Chains A and B, each alone.
Chain A
Amino acid sequence: MATVVQIQSVSHTKENIETIKRTLASVANAIRVAREFYGLQLDVVFVYGDANEIPSFTNSDIELLKMSGAKELSFDYRILDRKTGFARGHNTLFSTAESRFIMTINPGMILSPDFFEHILNMFEESQTAIVEARKTPIETGKIYDPDSLETDYASMDCAVISSAVFEEMGGLDESFYCSDYDVDFSLRAKMSEYRVKYQPLSMVYCPAELSPNGKLVCTNEDRYYTALDDMLLAYKWASTRIVNSILRRFALSANKEEQRAAVDFKRMKSENRLPARSSVKSSPSRFKNGLYCKQRFKWPVEMRSMEA
């Protein structure tokens, strides 16, 4: 019997059709390899959620996209509400899923041909909730156990999730906009005794830009939302002392985006728009040294404004 997977991608920026065609072609090839080389039977639907102000693709573009992975997968294009965050976007796409697994992937990523063989095997252990793939060429420095492959949280930039667990957890917390919803999901899954894992053998190419001195380039907009989501995550999972410490750090930061995030966080708090807090005592989150999980290292980041 075929394993059914719904792959879902949420986009906030206007994507080039060639970029999405390449993603689809790599998914189609990974499905072919899973069938021909590993004997896996996969039934895959790729759902693309477009949350742009003006839809990225025309009807003829969508027909071209449908043909990109024609033999191996079906393609579904959905318009989401403008400015829908990633968390709400994925929840919306999941609401119509009928698959055993869902897989999240950011637009523009390219799957390694042997991707499915390694990552789907991880679900043979019934308590596995989510498995994150390894990004290349920039691997994050978070720690994982090489034997059990368990880790503190799984990034949903590219991950496979058990649909049953996703539903049981009530999906993603829509308080988060573009990051940390995956950390929050992992923490909730762990509290329900599920396993959160990392599979270094399943690779996905994640587009990245390095500055001339080798730092990871990140836009001001990314920095704003990441800082805001970091504070929301701390508010939900960490002690008041840690929340205040992070808030103070952003408020006093030399970076204007972090300052703006701190101001907006205070406003959300005064308007009672923050997520409900978890019981800190039973929280599996760590929040040591300002980070929510142990890291082997952290790539240095360089900010770049959108105009640049």
Chain B
Amino acid sequence: MQEHNPNTASILELLSDNQELLTSGTQSGEYFRWIWRICHDYTENPYQEEYIDNINEERSYSGKRPFLTIVMRTQGKRLSQLREALLCLWSQTNRDFELIIVGHKVADENRDVIQRVIQEQESAFRERIRYYEIDYGTRSAPLNYGFSHARGRYIANCDDDDTVTQDWVNELYERSLTAKNCLLHVYTVTQAWSEVDVNGAKAVRADDIPRPRYCRPFSQTIQLHQNLCPFFSIAFPAFLFNKLNIWFDEELDTTEDWDYIMRTSLLVGVSDIEKTPLVYRLWSNTDSSHTVNDEKAWNVFKVMIKNKHDTYPVLLKEGKSADIRAFYSDPIGYAKRINRQEKMIAGNNGYAELLRYIVKTMFNENSITYRICAGIYNSLFRKRGY
């Protein structure tokens, strides 16, 4: 009798009996060959010996292993943000995590500051924090270094200016119980923030309403075109890094997250968690990877990523062929539809914004005129998600 839900072992057995499928040149053969290469080749990396040593060191660790390893890169330049990120992490309802802070090219004057912020934490939190420093490489290098020291079953990145709500770790944990070994993806709002000078000290301030730009399911097809997953919205099974040796590409100084998400998601898939525990802050007057790297450099890295996409086979989820069909049958209509969805999610429709501005400027909110206009506005735009 035919088995409809075979396990992996029975699939492998079936393949060995039907070796034509694995012949070089067939689509399935190439896919399995790609997986074989991933499992047997190290990523070309000048620091690979150090990372392998780290992985072996952590493999021999005999203490209790946490569910999640959180890797945080910092240069110690954003003290207030770093404190806030740590506060959010320690406020997690599920504290089954460890935190690896990797200082990257830290200036001497900032080193003591980072150490002091760590020393300020509760002792139970300090026990979960490990601090390392490296002074080489691109922004990918501290990720490889931090991931190589992970002891958790999953690894997530949280930068030193990221904020999360109290359920982030628990949402990942709950989903990991049912969606084993795939990437876990949560939703993210973006919000404009800025630094403010408060009597000589730097504080931060939210400047605008949050935008649900990244509150959407993961789409492999859209990801081929652009990255719609802030890095901390994804948790990676640790075996991808420390067993399959899928590492960050250290040639990349930005978009390293997009590259890594693509290479890993194509292999193990993604499980969407329709919850929004993350606030991704867009800084208007302080450094971020967006401001440090100019537009030209961004575009160069984007081309590099897209070229990399062409070097491996792409396995799409069932149902995604409809996207491709729609694109080929009506490319303009498809582009318009995607664009419209983008605007609805981003909430940046020009006409809607203009109308809202005019109505707000001209009328008092308590007036009848305002309420009539607000009613028209809501029926025209709000219900459609603006």
Contacts and interface: CB of A to CB of B under 8 A. Distances in A.
Nearest to B88: A137
Contact of A110 (B91, B205, B215, B274): B91
Interface of A: 22, 25-26, 29, 33, 37, 110, 112-114, 134, 136-139, 141, 146-147, 149, 199-201, 203, 205, 207-214, 242, 245-246, 249, 289-290, 296-300
B91 A205 contact: yes
Of listed A146, A199, A214, A290, residue having the most chain B CB within 10 A: A214
B255 interface: no
Nearest to B210: A214
B212 interface: yes
A203 B79 CA distance: 13
A51 B245 CA distance: 56
Nearest to A241: B366
Contact of B366 (A146, A201, A242, A298): A242
A26 to B, nearest CB: 7
A213 B209 contact: no
Ranked nearest first, the 8 interchain pairs of A and B with the lowest CB-CB distance are: A137-B163, A214-B189, A245-B366, A200-B203, A113-B120, A214-B212, A205-B91, A210-B276
Contacts of A201: 80, 198, 201, 203
A296 B165 contact: no
A218 to B, nearest CB: 14
B83 A114 contact: yes
Question: Chain B: interface secondary structure?
Answer: mixed
A33 B121 CA distance: 9
A298 B91 CA distance: 24
Contacts of B203: 134, 200-201
A136 B209 contact: no
A207 B371 CA distance: 33
A112 B198 contact: no
A112 B163 CA distance: 14
Contacts of A33: 120
Contacts of B276: 210-214
Contacts of A297: 206-209
A74 to B, nearest CB: 19
11 contacts: A26-B122, A33-B120, A110-B91, A113-B120, A113-B122, A136-B87, A149-B199, A212-B274, A213-B212, A297-B208, A299-B210
A54 to B, nearest CB: 23
Contacts of B122: 25-26, 29, 113
B353 interface: no
